[in-house]
Amino acid sequence: MELLYEKLPDAKIKCLACKHYCIIPENKTGICHVRANIKGELMLLTHRMVAAKHLDPIEKKPFYHVLPQTLSYSLGTFGCNFRCLFCQNWQLSQIIKEVAKYDAFKASKFIQTYSSPFSPEEVVEKALQLNAKSIAYTYNEPTIWVEGVKEIAVLAKKHGLKNLMVSSGYESEETLNLLEEVDAYNIDLKSFSSEFYINIVGSKLENVLETIESIHKRKKWIEITTLLIPGKNNDEKELEDMASFIAGIDKNIPWHISRFHPDYKMTDVPPTPIKELEKAIRIGEEAGLNYVYIGNVPGHEKENTYCPCCNKIVIERSGYEVKNHLIKGKCPYCSCKLAGIWE
pTM, rounded to two decimals: 0.96
Q: Which residues pair with 322 in a beta bridge?
A: 317
Residue 1 pLDDT > 90: no
Amino acid at 19: K
pLDDT of residue 98: 92
Task: Give CA separation, 341 vs 52, 223, 254, in Å.
Answer: 26, 11, 12
40-71 pLDDT tens trace: 999 999 999 999 999 999 999 999 999 999 99
Max CA distance (Å), the chain: 66
Chain mean pLDDT for the chain: 97
84-118 pLDDT tens trace: 999 999 999 999 999 999 999 999 999 999 999 99
Average pLDDT over residues 308-328: 96
Residue 230 pLDDT > 90: yes
pLDDT of residue 2: 86
Mode of pairing for the β-strands spanning 13-15 and 5-7:
antiparallel
Residue 268 main-chain phi, psi, to 5 deg:
-90, -5
d(CA 52, CA 87): 16
Average pLDDT over residues 209-215: 98
Domains of the chain, each with CATH number or no CATH: 5-44 (no CATH), 49-324 (3.20.20.70)
d(CA 198, CA 183): 30
121-162 pLDDT tens trace: 999 999 999 999 999 999 999 999 999 999 999 999 999 999
pLDDT of residue 75: 98
Query: What do you get for the CA distance between the two ends of the chain, in Å?
Result: 31
Q: Which residues pair with 14 in a beta bridge?
A: 6, 23
The closest alpha carbon to 35, from 119, 118, 144, belongs to 144
